[in-house]
Amino acid sequence: MNIGLKDRKAIVTGASSGIGRSIALALAAEGARLCLLGRHSAHLEEVRRCALADSPEVCTHLADLGHEGQLEKVISKLVADYPELDILVHCAGAYHSGTVASAPVACLDQQYRINVRAPFRLTQALLPALRSRKGQVVFMNSSVGLTTKGGLSQYCATKHALRALADCLRDEVNADGVRVIGVFPGQTATPMQAAVYASENRVYQPEVLLQPEDVANLVVQTLCLKQTAEVTNVSIRPLQKAPVLALRTV
């Protein structure tokens, strides 16, 4: 029999929208106790209200994890509030496109801070709490964390780094009973994806993309596996391919 998540303590970053929001609500539906991190107060509050319909406890922290001061402040709070932790889900992310020749270094720095450095620091700080509960860490990655694509050099680099972080962590903590899961979704119908389509002047058809709820269901099923098993890296793709050349009229 798979394990249940009722009353398990879970922290989810990037919980105010997209995949992070869906994972938060899916964990709430399982009865988990939630701590949600996000940058958008109104959206985060809406997720909190929805989650409270199922979860016995939902708290929120407003923080930009790419800002050093805000990151360290929320880490101090989390370490104090969660001496024991069952689940840590990293969903916060930043995306910028651009070629190596033209992409601003400032965009690389921002993506590094949010996509790599913040998950590293949060995991590092909360590792004692996770070890105490034989907990689980989920790194929400991207399909480009497994491949590369021209025009996305900075984003690909940070996602490859995130995969390396997850794989190294797994080697370090499996002996303590801590599981580390890397999830590599393809194009998903999220606000970030909508913005990407708009920037490329492409018609956005969310119905043919992977849905955030699909990814959330996969994550919950993985977290519920018996302690004898571990999913290491898992890819999930849309069943259909979005039309690449569908352009918006202007």
Span 26-52, average pLDDT? 97
3-state SS of 77-128? HHHHHCCCCCEEEECCCCCCCECCCCCCHHHHHHHHHHHHHHHHHHHHHHHH
pLDDT at 1: 54
pLDDT tier for residue 244 given thresholds of 50, 70 and 90: low
Domain ranges of the chain: 9-236
Q: What is the pLDDT of residue 208?
A: 86
Residue 250 is predicted with a pLDDT of 44
The confidence band for 2, taking pLDDT boundaries of 50, 70 and 90, is confident
**31 pLDDT above the threshold of 50:** yes
β-strands 179-185, 233-236: how paired?
parallel
For residues 25 and 29, give the distance between their C-alpha atoms in angstroms, rounded to a whole number: 6
Q: Give the pLDDT mean for 91-109.
A: 96
- Is residue 195 over pLDDT 90? no
pLDDT tens-digit series, residues 106-151: 999 999 999 999 999 999 999 999 999 999 999 999 999 999 999 9
- In sequence order, which residues have a C-beta less than 8 Å from that of residue 191 and are 6 or more positions away? 17, 18
Give the integer Cα–Cα distance in Å for 226 and 111.
Answer: 35
CA distances from 45 to 52, 90, 178 (A): 11, 19, 31
The whole-chain average pLDDT of the chain stands at: 94
Assigned architecture for domain 9-236? 3-Layer(aba) Sandwich (3.40)
Cα(185)–Cα(1) distance, integer angstroms: 27
Q: What is the mean pLDDT of residues 84-98?
A: 97
Query: CA 8, 61, 183 angle in degrees (round to 5)?
Result: 55
pTM higher than 0.75? yes
- Three-class HEC string of 39-92: CCHHHHHHHHHHHCCCCCCEEEEECCCCCHHHHHHHHHHHHHHCCCCCEEEECC
